[in-house]
A and B are shown apart, each in its own frame.
Chain A
């Protein structure tokens, strides 16, 4: 990056301060260690880790992936090595490498989130924030089942909030039609920002074998195919002025990132694009900076929610 690229890029979401608005989505970047071989991951606003649960999860039956037009259907089922693995194995490395970490966590209910938060308390100084995955479509308990019930959203958020001092982000699913209500309840529970959107429930069938293409039958759709849905969800929630939004869903270049910010995202999340363009984080950050230069935008915050609807 040239020496000007750092300027005017910082954003604030509640008390969450980011040096730039580029965040890596949960589950598509692991903890960032692999990508650090390709570019300096510490330049990113933040890396959201894979969602970790209290105990390791084996994930769903394969096949877990299926490409659809401009999209990716997945039914990973939150395979992860468990929170202790993150604390013992990933954290020392990401700390040494200077990554800014948002730790994503997943529990079946408020009690499990409480246990997770208790474990995280001893490492919270090393984290920027914690993100509650209340939106995964690929698990039987927790995820979207929990995240579509307003009372649960508030309870879970409050339970974690009570234990941790770092900011709490709640990640919601586009498969809900009451996002404003869910976001307000997350706010009541003490959340400082909303991540939107997780994947959209989808399915694909092999017409030769008559079988579903995913082992788990149904999965979550991500990638460019879902971008307009994400933009609309963000636009609608932004208008409600409930909480700042980390916008994600199909961003594939810096132009998409700008579009999300115009719709109302204070920061943007990169997911599937990391599989297509391994340098997406770096490239999109540089793209945003040069767009600002060309448009004479001094602070990126000046464009948040500035879509001209009339």
Chain B
């Protein structure tokens, strides 16, 4: 990890309250793995509002241009600040942080990526990496509506297959992405599965996968302060032994964990 001031190459609105920011950083290109994130300062140098940095997954890297991107939704003060930045401005961030996804030992050829909402952001980087490694990738993405139409355009640029569901039927098939997983669960047994999305999606997936004894990895979120494992603020409960639990930090022990190990309360 390194503390970096990188030039913003572009910051485009690609949907309602949905933005893609591209930042110049040879260091991030060289050192990051899918699933890792950066912790970005979301206030100008002389101000402290908001005080804490905000974590964002690495969404894409483009080694030819030495740039990486984040895909983010407008939530509050921090993301509002980011949305106002433009090309030529400087982004102050630390990264890459957390444990990413390494492929070396992976013998499997088939990968299923399940993304819900903004959870598709880190999975795009994973899909790109996997397809470059010659793997078969199936990307299952679920959204509320058609706000992620341009995301589909990005997927079309990769050599992968995909399916899109939206809750109101305005983008892809109507329904929840978990409907697709239920329907095809038996097929998916031979896939390596990675998910990223809201807790409600994880709860449903846990149920489906435990019935079918399917393994899956997932990327988790918690409110963070340090982002580097020192404050113990970003913990979530995970299974430990038969009936026990243990708190693990999302920023340092994660954000990648076994989905089946997570305990949601």
Interface residues, chain A, with chain B CB atoms under 8 Å away: 27-30, 34-35, 37-38, 50, 58-59, 62-67, 69-72, 74, 76, 79-80, 223-224, 252, 272, 274-276, 278-279
Contact A279 B3 (CB under 8 A): yes
Q: Are A275 and B231 in contact (CB under 8 A)?
A: yes
B211-245 contacts to A (CB < 8 Å): 222-237
Please give, as numbers and ranges, the residues of chain B lying within 8 Å of A62 by CB-CB distance. 222, 234-237, 247
- Distance between A65 CB and nearest chain B CB, rounded to angstroms: 4
Main DSSP-derived SS at the A contact region: loop
A79 touching B235, Cβ below 8 Å: yes
Q: Is the CB of B231 within 8 A of A76?
A: yes
Least Cβ–Cβ distance between B19 and chain A, in angstroms: 21
State in angstroms the CA–CA spacing of A278 and B41 once bound together.
11
Q: Tell whether, in the assembled complex, residue A38 and residue B3 are in contact, meaning their CB atoms are under 8 Å apart.
A: yes
Task: Give the nearest-CB partner of B3 in chain A.
Answer: A278
Q: Are B53 and A63 in contact (CB under 8 A)?
A: no
CB-based contact B235/A67 at 8 Å: no
Residue contact B231 to A27, C-beta cutoff 8 Å: yes
- Which of chain B's residues has its CB closest to A74's CB? B233
Taking a contact as CB atoms closer than 8 A, the residue among B1, B51, B223, B231 that contacts A276 in the complex is: B51
B52 interface contact, C-beta 8 A: yes
Is the Cβ of A76 less than 8 Å from the Cβ of B232?
yes
- Give bound CA distance, A40 to B246, whole Å: 33
Contact A34 B228 (CB under 8 A): yes
Counting from the closest, the 4 A-B pairs by CB-CB distance are A30-B230, A65-B233, A79-B232, A275-B225
Decide: A34 and B222 in contact? CB cutoff 8 A: no
Q: A252 CB to closest chain B CB, in angstroms? A: 6
B50 within 8 A of A: yes
Considering only CB atoms, which chain B residue lies closest to A224 in the complex? B48
Query: Are B234 and A65 in contact, CB atoms less than 8 angstroms apart?
Result: yes
Q: Is B94 an interface residue (CB 8 A)?
A: yes
A50, B229: Cα distance in complex, Å: 12
What is the total of A-B residue contacts with beta carbons within 8 Å?
87
> Would you call B49 an interface residue if the criterion is a C-beta within 8 Å of the partner chain's C-beta atoms?
yes
Q: Which residues of the partner chain A approach B48 to less than 8 Å between Cβ atoms? A: 70, 223-224, 252, 276
Q: Name which of B2, B223, B230 has the most chain A CB atoms within 10 A of its CB.
A: B230
Q: Which of B53, B235, B236 contacts A59 (CB 8 A)?
A: B235
Q: For B233, give the chain A residue with the smallest CB separation.
A: A65
> What is the 8 Å Cβ interface bit string for chain B, positions 155-185, against chain A (1 contact, 0 not)?
0000000000000000000000000000000
Q: Please, could you name 14 A-B residue pairs with CB atoms under 8 Å apart, sorted by A?
A: A35-B230, A37-B1, A37-B2, A58-B247, A62-B235, A62-B236, A64-B232, A65-B234, A67-B52, A67-B223, A72-B225, A74-B231, A274-B230, A275-B226
Knowing A62-B235, A63-B223 touch, does A34 contact B230 (C-beta < 8 A)?
A: yes
Looking at the assembled complex, report how far the CB atom of B53 sits from the nearest CB atom of chain A, in whole angstroms.
7
Q: Which residue of B lies closest to A66 (CB)?
A: B223
Residues 43-72 of chain B, each 1 if its beta carbon lies under 8 Å from chain A, else 0: 000001111110000000000000000000
| Chain A residues within 8 Å of B94, by CB | 278
* A67 in complex: contacting residue of B2, B41, B51, CB < 8 Å: B51
Contact among B49, B235, B237, B246 with A69 in the assembled complex (CB-CB below 8 Å): B49
Could you say which of A28, A37, A67, A278 contacts B231, with CB atoms under 8 Å apart?
A28
